[in-house]
A = this chain, B = another copy of it.
Amino acid sequence: MAKELTSRGENYSQWYNDLVIKADLAENSAVRGCMVIKPYGYAIWEKIQAELDRMFKETGHVNAYFPLFIPKSFLSKEAEHVEGFAKECAVVTHYRLKQNEDGTGLIVDPDAKLDEELIVRPTSETIIWSTYKNWIQSYRDLPLLINQWANVVRWEMRTRLFLRTTEFLWQEGHTAHATENEAIEEAYKILEIYATFAENFMAVPVLKGLKSVNERFAGAIETLCIEALMQDGKALQAGTSHFLGQNFAKAFDVTFMDKTNKLDYVWATSWGVSTRLMGALIMTHSDDHGLVLPPKLAPFQVVIVPIYKNEEQLTAINAKVYELTSKLKTLGISVKYDNDDNKKPGWKFAEYELKGVPIRLAMGTRDLENKTIEVARRDTLTKETVSIEGIDTYIQQLLNDIQDNIFRKAYDYRTSVTREVNSYDEFKEEIEKGGFLLCHWDGTPETEELIKDETKATIRLIPMDGEKTPGICMVTGKPSAQRVVFARAY
């Protein structure tokens, strides 16, 4: 196996770390908890960004940019918000360095202490709502449907590449509305965009629902989320959309004149997905051979490798391949032709398998004679020899098939490990096996806390869709309105 990837069975966690490093997606940096996103990983992130950005714009959102720094006092204005973020803030206290007079090097200049410390944004509700105050006077100024692509910092004690890093990249939407209903609708609309993106582009099936009070965003009235399931049976929160009520409007005194000339506080939502999606993408599809990428997000969808013994053969293959790549590009398919003479075909095969390129084509001299080409699928690891005639549309269809297949595979896996559990004893046994457990719960934070303490499982979400049959809580025997989804999570 290329570059010695640990197998999933052996050690899932190590497999993930190996894969991220060896497929050149990201690596740890010299700064504790901060990652370097390498070009191949960043190319995937760019595709994620481009699609989401298009979806946001199609639904009337625009991009803007707000400051990296937040004055300390702003953070305190919303009580729950500060409670949620104060413990993990990077704090800027000075604005200058100087050479130490004793010649020992660079020190912080004590004369350059800030009057008020600045926080590196962990999220931007406070700085944005302090700005919105000046932008909103009347209902005519509403809604504001603004998104920003940015870096944020949360000082995490235990970090893992993409899944939990001190600095990460994300988009954060911050909208302002004249009515409660409109804001709630916006929060749900965004959740649909996230779910559609996850399923149709990442090929990651997700559950949609509401967070329990314990898992809610600090400062939100309601947090909606999409939740994915990784191959080790652990859940991963892939995106959240918050209905913030009037909390931030009140904290920053943002009022508006409504149509009836009445002054009211503005209604808000915020929502975000981050480079964490990269973790979900990697862990949902990949195997012991390396990355498996959905065609819609692969930096290149097809790689072509020539098999030749001498210069003359390569020249003949090159000519045929250039013809083919130009046809594929016409169909909007991204192709890389790797005719680097310094690497053997076997090395290339392993490399592109590791990097998850959806389709690998190999062309040798016999293929030239027979007018064929070898087509290898990354998802099934199967190979077939196909006529070069009509190969472009064949590849196009195959990319769709791969996209569908990896979604279905992930969907079937999730279905196979999602089950109803009716007693707490059964729960304790089942949770060890991973997967989503559908259980009755009495709706109290205390019971959720108890379950978490005893089993490390949390309520991933309260499902939005599907039937809602009442029952009794598996722990306390108290009434439950509907089953909720438990799992251990990343």
Contacts and interface: CB of A to CB of B under 8 A. Distances in A.
Given A86-B98, A92-B92, 15 more contacts: A29-B67, A29-B131, A30-B130, A31-B69, A31-B70, A31-B118, A34-B69, A37-B64, A37-B65, A42-B65, A69-B90, A73-B105, A90-B95, A93-B93, A93-B108
Interface stretch (A74-82, A189-197, A356-364, A451-459): A74-82
A404 interface: no
Interface centre among A31, A86, A127, A342 (most CB of B within 10 A): A31
Contact of A120 (B120, B146, B155): B120
A18 interface: no
A349 to B, nearest CB: 19
A336 interface: no
A64 B38 contact: yes
A1 interface: no
Contacts of A62: 39, 42-43
Contacts of A169: 65
Going nearest first, the 3 A-B pairs with the smallest beta carbon separation are A34-B67, A39-B62, A37-B65
19 contacts: A29-B66, A29-B67, A34-B69, A36-B131, A43-B63, A65-B169, A68-B151, A68-B153, A69-B167, A73-B106, A75-B97, A75-B106, A86-B97, A88-B95, A89-B95, A90-B94, A92-B93, A95-B155, A108-B117
Nearest to A130: B30
A313 to B, nearest CB: 24
Nearest to A340: B140
Contacts of A99: 86
Interface of A: 27, 29-31, 34-39, 42-43, 45-46, 62-76, 82, 86-99, 105-106, 108, 117-120, 127, 130-131, 134, 140, 146, 150-151, 153, 155, 167, 169, 342
Given A37-B64, A118-B31, A76 B105 contact: yes
B88 A96 contact: yes
A254 to B, nearest CB: 14
Contacts of A68: 34, 120, 151, 153, 167
A96 B106 contact: no
A361 to B, nearest CB: 23
A31 B71 contact: yes
Contacts of A34: 67-69
**What's the dominant secondary structure at chain A's contact region?**
mixed
A34 B63 CA distance: 17
A162 to B, nearest CB: 12
A30 B106 contact: no
A465 B99 CA distance: 41
A184 to B, nearest CB: 23
A31 B64 contact: no
Contacts of A64: 36-39, 42
Nearest to A115: B32
B87 A91 contact: no
Given A63-B39, A92-B92, A95-B91, A106 B82 contact: yes
A403 B90 CA distance: 45
Contacts of A97: 72, 75, 86-87, 89, 91, 119
Nearest to A62: B39
A64 B25 CA distance: 10
Q: Which of A35, A92, A155 has the most CB of B within 10 A?
A: A92
Contact of A31 (B31, B90, B127, B155): B127
A165 B363 CA distance: 55
Contacts of A90: 69, 92, 94-95, 118
A170 B134 CA distance: 27
A62 B24 CA distance: 13
B119 A72 contact: no
Contacts of A46: 63
A65 to B, nearest CB: 4
A475 B58 CA distance: 61
A350 B75 CA distance: 39
Contacts of A91: 92-97, 108
A462 B289 CA distance: 55
Contacts of A140: 342
A71 B86 CA distance: 23
A153 B76 CA distance: 24
Contacts of A106: 72-73, 75-76, 82, 86
Contacts of A117: 108
Nearest to A128: B36
